[in-house]
Amino acid sequence: MWALRRASATLRKQRLSIESTQIRFGIPCVSNSLPEDCDVGVHTPAEFESHKFLSLKSFHKKAGSSPAALWGTCRFSSHAETKNSGRDGDETEDGFSDLDSLASENDIADKNEESDSESDLSDEAVDDLEHGIEDSQDLVDTKTPFAKKRFGSTLFKEFLDDPASTVDSIVTKWKNKGNDLTRSELTEVMTGFRRRRMFGKALKLSEWMESCEEIEFTDRDFASRVDLIAKMRDLHRAEAFLQKIPKEFRGELAYRAFLANCVYAVNVKKAEETFNKMKELGFPISCFAFNQLLLLYKRTDKKKIADVLLLMEKHGVKPSRFTYKVLIDVKGQANDIDGMEKIIETMKSEGMNPPISVKASIAKYYIAGGHNEKAEAVLKDMEGGDAMETRFARPYFLSLYASLGKADEVSRIWQDCKSKPRVDEALSAIRAWGSLKKFDEAEEAFEALIDKFKNSKSLTSKAYNVLLSVYADNKMLEKGKELVKRMGQSHCNAGPLIWDTLVQLYCNAGELEGADSILKNAGSKGKPKPLYRTYSTVMEEYSKKGDVHNCEKIFYRMRQVGYTSRFRQFETLIKAYVNAKAPAYGMAERMKADNIFPNKALAGLINQVDAFRQTSWSEILD
């Protein structure tokens, strides 16, 4: 523990507003097994639980700061607000007619994938929050044994073969064939829906199960419903349902499911309220709850991480492998390599060897910090591990060797999986070759993926988007247009992720009007709303040009589709006025109305555009 204390000391002097790196990796502490005592949350096997506490007082920004008030009440507070949703109703303008030829509706899996990015998180942050939420299997009844073959349920196949029919009709048809309806069968179906991210179907099945007299609804079923409502609708409705759950079933499971979704939505205020509520109700404060707060503050306010760690120590909660992973990320993102290494040493001393995914992130932080030799050593260690583990690490190898500029190593790894590439391998290969400016090789990897999975619409959408990102990053506008035409010809689904990449493509190529046209088309009635960052990209380009009119227009359209105002949004708008050297009337009042308060730098910008500001000359003239 002393090593961890020293490792965190440098954070007193560092400002931890470091952006997340763009490496994706799975979170190993989420259980993939189904123990009988499986519970909602992040599960840590006994061998992965530390026997020491993480009393990292030096995570506080100011030396000598005390969390005494926090200890006394175990409460957190924040001004963060909930994000809303809505749709844009702007008419389509000329400038990008190819979007019209793309399918406007996505399948359920695509919709959920796209909605996951609406919080404007980096890839790493999305992945952390997604894996920080309970594994889907934890929200179904695991007391009843599963069939040995994964998703071998005939009932699940019935749902897949007839997606348009209602739950009741499919179950009735299945029972008429002489099958018995059991909880284990429904559990397999629910797990299948969750693994395929078919949360809409899972929610309908949950509602049917509650109304079905043959199935006794349990606290785990209610917790699953809370999670599904939060995913498919919003936190407000999930919270309303949580309060309606019968008291005997409204236990820790339901609150943990809601807490995890608050963290996923980056709703600081609601997450803190839920954590405090769990304590007030007398629920045990588990490592899961603390890990959720660590995930939240890793994204929003790293200074609070020390408070969480000290509170864990006060309550006698041992850190899990996931706890260490978050701390490694915090150190890596702050470029505190020495601190990161000391945390890794402490983790190993507790018998928790970092898994492949965490090793990959460590290598990424080494590369970002200019420690290429250390990164290569980590890669060699990864390649020398278990054969099966190494096989599934290929996407990491492709990405990391590309970051090191080692085209030969990327080629070597790609040759091993080129004949029968898995989805993640091919997508990583496209990105790797793109970052190395090897565009022919990137297109070859794209074609290999399309040929193998040409009948999967959701897959081809991902593949097109990755290659389109390569073109966008390298300002290859014509190539991007050709790819979009091909998407339309193949009836590929278009959604918020595709639109976001298209906007980036046009903005990077200097075609701002084309990007705005795409945004209007994407936000037209009847389509899923564009991502927050898509609007921000166009708005920032207008701001740089000092185009106040169009900047205000994008600001208004974001309100129309349901995005609440944020600090960065006002900052971009104010910079537009500064660049245009135009006065902004009532800007401070507008921010105050949205409960947003400027920092010192933004206050200075507001003063520059304040039409009524007092200067030395104005005082003389008055």
Residue 457 confidence (pLDDT): 61
Residue 135 confidence (pLDDT): 39
pLDDT beyond 50 at 358? yes
pLDDT band for 614, please (50, 70, 90 cuts).
low
pLDDT band for 101, please (50, 70, 90 cuts).
very low
Percent of the chain at pLDDT exceeding 90: 41
Alpha carbons 501 and 431: distance in angstroms, whole number: 14
Each residue's pLDDT tens digit, 381-391: 898 877 667 78
Nearest 5°: the CA angle 518, 520, 521 is 65
Given a contact cutoff of 8 angstroms between Cβ atoms, the answer to whether 561 and 88 are in contact is: yes
pLDDT beyond 50 at 85? no
pLDDT beyond 70 at 399? yes
Alpha carbons 528 and 87: distance in angstroms, whole number: 7
Residue 566 confidence (pLDDT): 87
| Residues, the chain | 622
Most confident of 87-91, 159-163, 551-555: 551-555
**Residue 137 has what DSSP assignment?**
G
Mean pLDDT, residues 7-32 taken together? 36
The amino acid at residue 393 is A
As given in the structure block, the two tokens for residue 144 are 């009843």
Alpha carbons 278 and 75: distance in angstroms, whole number: 11
Weakest mean pLDDT among 117-126, 154-163, 217-226, 285-294:
117-126
Please say whether the structural domain 1-5+121-139+153-317 has been given the CATH code 3.40.1280.10. no
Alpha carbons 364 and 335: distance in angstroms, whole number: 11
Mean pLDDT, residues 358-378 taken together? 94
Q: Which residue has the higher pLDDT, 276 or 29?
A: 276
Mean pLDDT, residues 484-502 taken together? 87
Residue 161 confidence (pLDDT): 83
Residue 456 confidence (pLDDT): 66
pLDDT beyond 90 at 377? yes
| Longest pairwise C-alpha distance within the chain | 94
Say which residue the tokens 């990105």 belong to.
431
DSSP helix/strand/coil, 321 = helix
Weakest mean pLDDT among 83-97, 286-300, 525-539:
83-97
Say which residue the tokens 């490792």 belong to.
7
Percent of the chain at pLDDT exceeding 70: 72
Alpha carbons 152 and 155: distance in angstroms, whole number: 9
**Residue 91 has what DSSP assignment?**
P
Residue 65 confidence (pLDDT): 37
Q: Which residue has the higher pLDDT, 555 or 610?
A: 555
Question: Average per-residue pLDDT in the chain?
Answer: 77
Each residue's pLDDT tens digit, 402-435: 999 999 999 999 998 888 888 899 999 999 999 9
Alpha carbons 134 and 288: distance in angstroms, whole number: 9
Residue 373 confidence (pLDDT): 95
Residues 6+ apart with CB under 8 A from 507: 515, 537, 538, 541
Given a contact cutoff of 8 angstroms between Cβ atoms, the answer to whether 184 and 144 are in contact is: yes
Q: Which residue has the higher pLDDT, 2 or 194?
A: 194
Alpha carbons 305 and 339: distance in angstroms, whole number: 15
Given a contact cutoff of 8 angstroms between Cβ atoms, the answer to whether 448 and 426 are in contact is: yes
Alpha carbons 221 and 355: distance in angstroms, whole number: 32
Residue 98 confidence (pLDDT): 40
Tell me the CA end-to-end span of the chain in Å, nearest whole number: 65
Each residue's pLDDT tens digit, 203-249: 999 998 888 877 888 889 999 999 999 988 889 999 999 999 999 89
Mean pLDDT, residues 165-191 taken together? 87
Mean pLDDT, residues 370-387 taken together? 89
Per-residue three-class SS string for 406-449: CHHHHHHHHHHHCCCCCHHHHHHHHHHHHHCCCHHHHHHHHHHH
Residue 471 confidence (pLDDT): 96
From residue 594, how far is each of 215, 361, 534, 567, 601 by CA, in Å?
Answer: 47, 37, 21, 10, 19
Residue 309 confidence (pLDDT): 92
Residue 224 confidence (pLDDT): 93
Mean pLDDT, residues 336-343 taken together? 93
Weakest mean pLDDT among 31-35, 52-56, 191-195, 477-481:
31-35
Mean pLDDT, residues 502-509 taken together? 95
pLDDT band for 489, please (50, 70, 90 cuts).
confident
Contacts 24+ apart (CB under 8 A), 57-60: 57/5, 57/306, 57/310, 58/5, 58/8, 58/9, 58/11, 58/12, 58/306, 59/8, 59/11, 59/302, 59/303, 59/305, 59/306, 59/309, 60/12, 60/303, 60/306, 60/307
Mean pLDDT, residues 253-257 taken together? 93
